[in-house]
Structure 1
C-alpha cells in the first residue's frame, strides 16, 4: 500500500470491522476504481486502544511496546491485499476520538471525492435502519457522504456496482450546484443515466394520484403543448433550465426527467430499489441549521440502495 498523493482524488472508506462496514469498503473500492482515485481506509480505534495509546504517551515508558493490537486494521489489510483488484494507491489511517468527529476531521483535511460508510456499525441495534454515527457524519461532514445500506435493506445489487441509473433528487430553485455536479460526475464514471426527480405540490382533492407511478421524460420530449398538468409542465421546464449547464458539461450522460406530485422522499425511496445511487442535497443552502433536511433524512432511513448526501461545498456551505 502506498502513502503517496493521488492526482485523481480520494475516496475514503470508514470501517469498523462489522459486515456493514465491509460492504461499504467494497463499494468504496469500486468507486475509487471508477473515478481513477486513491482509496483511504479510515478506522477509528476502539476505546481500549485509545486508552492504551494515551497511557503510553503519558508515562513515557520505553518498556511499553510501541504498537498495540489493531485487529480491524489487520483484517482490512488482508481483505484488500488478497481480494480482487484495488486502486493503485491505498492507505490506511487509524484515527482517534469519537467516530463522527474523527471522520468529519479526516474528511475535511483530505477533501475527498466522497466518504463511504455503512448504514449501521458494529454497535448498532439490529432494528435500526440507520445508525447514529452514519446519521451524524452524513449530517455534518464537509464532503459528500455515501451511506451503503445493510443487507436487510439492499435489493438486487448490494454493491451498487451495476449500470443502474443515478437518481438525483432536485428542487430546481434550491438544490446547490454541488449536488448536481456530484450526480453527473458519478453517472459519467459509471456510463449510465441521470434520472432527475422533482416533486410539486398538489391541492387536496379526490382525483389526486399521488401514489400513481411517475413517468420519466427525456428533455427532448418537453413540447409546449404537453398533456401534463400545468404544475408538472412548469416543474419539468424548471428542471430543464437548471440542468442545461450540466448537460453541456456531460454531453454523453443521458438524462431522464420526472416531475411527481406530492412526496419527493417517497418517490426517491421507491426509485432506490433499482438505482445504482440516489443523490440528495443535505439541506436548504440558506438555512444554516445543523439539522439534515427532511428529504435527505427520510431517504437515508428508508432507501434500498446507496445514498449520497451532498453538502454545499462552495461559499454557501454550512
Structure 2
C-alpha cells in the first residue's frame, strides 16, 4: 500500500470541501497521490445509462459534471487538467457501495460528516456512517464546521490577540494523535495507523484506555487525563490499582510500536469511565482520533460498527479515523 493514494470523497458541499482540504494535506504528508472521487447523482447516472443503451451519437459524450469543475477551481488547476499528483473519478452506483469499492485501493478514504442532502441537525450522515462501517481501508470522517465551533470560540478566547484563522489551523495541525486502546483486543493495524499518522506529522501519540470501575472519592469523572510515563509505574506508586494495571498492559502492548517508531513521543492515559466519552474529550486538542471499527472477534458477516467508534464519529470535535479490524469484511 506504499503507493496507494489518499481518496477524498466529494459532492460539492461545504462538508466535502473540508474533507478535500484535509485529504490534500494528508497526501502531501505521505508523499502520495490524491484521488478525488464523486458519486454522480441519480439523474446523471440515468443519462449515462440512456445514452449507452440508445447509442445516440447526437447526445454529448459526457454529462456535465459541475463537481469536477468545482474541484479544479479549488485546487488551482491551470488549464483543463488537474494539478500534478491529483486525479478525479466520477463514480456510478449508490454512494456507500461506490466508495466502498474504490476504497479497496486506497491508503485511506476521507469524507465529510454530512453530505449535500443531509439535515442540518444530523451529527453524522448516513453515507458517512455506512462507508465507515464497511470500507476495506481506514475511513477518516472530517466533522462539519458547527461541530467544533464552540471549541474554536473557547480557544480564541483563551488566546486573545493571537488573531487569524491561520494561527488556529497551525495549532490544530500541531495537535497530537489520540488512539483508543483495549490492550487485549485492539488490533495491531489500529495502533500502526495511529503511530504512522503521528510520525508523518512529527507529533505525539496519546494512548487512551478506560476502565469500568467506580472512581475513588478523590477523583472527579471529568477531571483531566493523568498522563503517566512508563518509568513512573514503580511498585510503590499511589495510583488506583486498576489504573496501574491498565498502564502496565498498555506499556507491554506498545513496546513493539515504540521500537518501530522510536521518534514518536508517546503519552499513556488510563482513565475511569466511558471510553467513547473520554475519546470525545480528548478530540478537542487532537489533530486526529483513531479508533478500531469493531470487536476483532466478530464474524466476517458482522459489519456493524462498534459502539465506541459509533459514538466517537457522532460527537468528536475533530477528524476521526475508523480503522478496519477484519481482513475479510470487504
Q: TM-score, normalised by structure 2?
A: 0.88
Distance verdict in 2 for CA 1:72–1:18, change over 3 Å: same
Distance 2:293 2:92 in 1: 26
Task: Name which of 144, 149, 163 aligns with 2:143.
Answer: 149
Deviation at 1:216, TM superposition (A): 1.0
Deviation at 1:15, TM superposition (A): 0.1
Distance verdict in 2 for CA 1:117–1:178, change over 3 Å: same
Distance 2:84 2:262 in 1: 29
Q: Residues 12 and 115 of structure 1 are in contact (CA less than 8 Å); yes or no, is this contact kept in structure 2?
A: yes
Residue 293 (structure 1) aligns with:
306
Task: Name which of 153, 171, 175 aligns with 1:164.
Answer: 175
Please state if 1:258 is matched with 2:254.
no
Please state if 1:183 is matched with 2:158.
no
Q: Which has the higher helix share?
A: 2
Please state if 1:59 is matched with 2:54.
yes
Residue 243 (structure 1) aligns with:
254
User: Size of the alignment, in residue pairs?
Assistant: 308
Q: Residues 36 and 87 of structure 1 are in contact (CA less than 8 Å); yes or no, is this contact kept in structure 2?
A: no
5+ residue gaps, structure 1, are: 1-5
Residue-by-residue CA offset, 1:27-72 (whole Å, 9 max, x unaligned): 0000000011110000000111100000001101122111111001
Residue 222 (structure 1) aligns with:
233
Residue pairs, 1:57-206, within 5 angstroms? 57-82=52-77, 88-108=84-104, 110=105, 112-154=106-148, 155-156=151-152, 157=168, 162-203=173-214
Deviation at 1:103, TM superposition (A): 0.2
Poorly superposed stretches of 4+, deviation over 3 Å: 155-161, 203-209
Q: Residues 214 and 272 of structure 2 are in contact (CA less than 8 Å); yes or no, is this contact kept in structure 1?
A: no
Q: Residues 23 and 159 of structure 1 are in contact (CA less than 8 Å); yes or no, is this contact kept in structure 2?
A: no
Residue-by-residue CA offset, 1:180-230 (whole Å, 9 max, x unaligned): 000000000000000000001114886663332221122232222221111
Q: TM-score, normalised by structure 1?
A: 0.92
Residue-by-residue CA offset, 1:229-249 (whole Å, 9 max, x unaligned): 110000000000111111100
Distance verdict in 2 for CA 1:87–1:70, change over 3 Å: closer
5+ residue gaps, structure 2, are: 153-167
Residue 165 (structure 2) aligns with:
none
Residue 223 (structure 2) aligns with:
212
Distance verdict in 2 for CA 1:184–1:273, change over 3 Å: same
